[in-house]
Amino acid sequence: MSTLTATHETPETPETAPAGRGRPAYRVTGRRVLSSEWAKLWSLRSTWITLGLGLLFLVAFGVIAASHYRSGPGSGRPAERDFADATAVSLSLFGTNFAQLALGVLGVLVTAGEYATGMIRSTMAAVPRRLPVLWSKAAVYGVVALAVATVGAFAAFLVGSRIVSGTPAAMGLGHAGVVRSLLGAGLYLGLVGVIGSALGALLRSVAGGVSVLVAAFLLVPGLVTLLPSSWQADIDPYLPSHAGQAVFALTHDSTTLSPGAGLLVLLGWTALALGGAAYRLLRSDV
C-alpha cells in the first residue's frame, strides 16, 4: 500500500513573501507635493472660471480705457482729470484693480476651500508634515497667477498701444520702463494671489479670507484718505495696494515708493501673511 501524505502550504507573511511582490514604498517629497497641488488646482472648475475672469478683466478694462482715451483726449477734446497724464501703459493696466480681486479670491479658495469641504484632512494624512502643503499651495498658485497676469498685461498693452497710436499717450515696448512696468504688473498680481492663499490658510474660511482681502486692498486705502494729510504721507505708500502700484507704475514722485522699495514692502506683506498661516497651521488642529 502507498501512503498519501497531505501537504499544506504555509500562508505568506511579510517576512516570507518574495521581495519583488511586496508593496512599493512611497516617500513624500517636495516634488510630489507640488505635483499633487498642481493636479488639485486644475481639477477645480472655479480655477478655470476665475483665472478666465482675471484675464478678461485685465485685458477688457485696458482696452476700454484706451478706447475711451482715443475718443476723448486722443481726438483733441479737453482731457478729463483721470486721463490728463495718461500713457499707453497706464491705460492698458487700468484693469489691474479688477483683476486683483479675481486672482486674490481664487487664492483664498485654493486653501480655504479644502477646509470648507473637509478635504484638508486627507491632504494632511498624506503629508504629515504640514508646512510643505502650505508652501506648495502658495508656490503653485503664485506661479499660475503670475503667468496669467503677465500674459494679460502684455496682451492689454499690445492692443491698447495700437488704439492710442498717434496720440500723446502713444508708447511702444521699446520705450524706457514699459517692459519693466508690464512685468511688474504680473508680479504684483502673482503676489496678490499668494497673499490670498495665505489668508485662506490663516482664516480657514472662504468668506473670512475674501473679506480681509477686499478690506486690505480696497477699503483700507479709502479709509486712509480720511486721515490728516501728514498721516497719509506716512501710511499710504506702505499699504499693500499702493506698494504694488509702485512696482508697475511708469513714473514716480515724492509721494510714492520706487519700484524696488515697493516690491520689498509688498514682499514683506506677503511674508507676514504666510508667516501667520504657517504659525496657525503648526499650532492648531486641522
Domain boundaries, the chain: 29-283
DSSP state of 199: H
> Which pLDDT belongs to residue 3?
46
The residues, any chain, with a CB within 8 Å of residue 140's CB and separated by 6 or more, are 34, 37, 38, 41
* 278 phi/psi in degrees, rounded to 5: -65, -40
Check if the beta carbon of residue 243 is closer than 8 Å to that of residue 266: yes
In total, the chain counts a number of residues equal to 286
The reply to whether the predicted model has a pTM over 0.75 is yes
Grid cell, residue 109, equals: 479658495
In sequence order, the 6+-apart residues with CB closer than 8 A to the CB of 245 are: 96, 188, 256, 262
pLDDT of residue 127: 84
Cβ distance 164 to 75 under 8 Å?
no
DSSP 84-108: TT--HHHHHTTTHHHHHHHHHHHHH
Please give the pLDDT value at position 21: 54
Single-letter residue type at 209: G
Q: Widest CA span of the chain, in angstroms? A: 121
pLDDT reported for residue 83: 65
The answer to whether the beta carbons of residues 253 and 228 sit under 8 Å apart is no
Q: What element of type H or E holds 166?
A: none
Contacts of 237 (CB under 8 A, 6+ apart): 243, 246, 255, 256, 257, 262, 265
Best CA proximity match to 159, nearest among 212, 100, 95: 95
How many Cβ atoms from other residues are within 10 Å of residue 126's Cβ?
13
Pairwise CA distance, residues 199 & 108, whole Å: 6
Give average pLDDT by consecutive 10-residue segment, the chain, 286 residues: 45 49 63 89 91 95 91 59 78 94 95 88 83 93 97 95 89 91 96 96 94 94 87 90 93 87 96 96 79
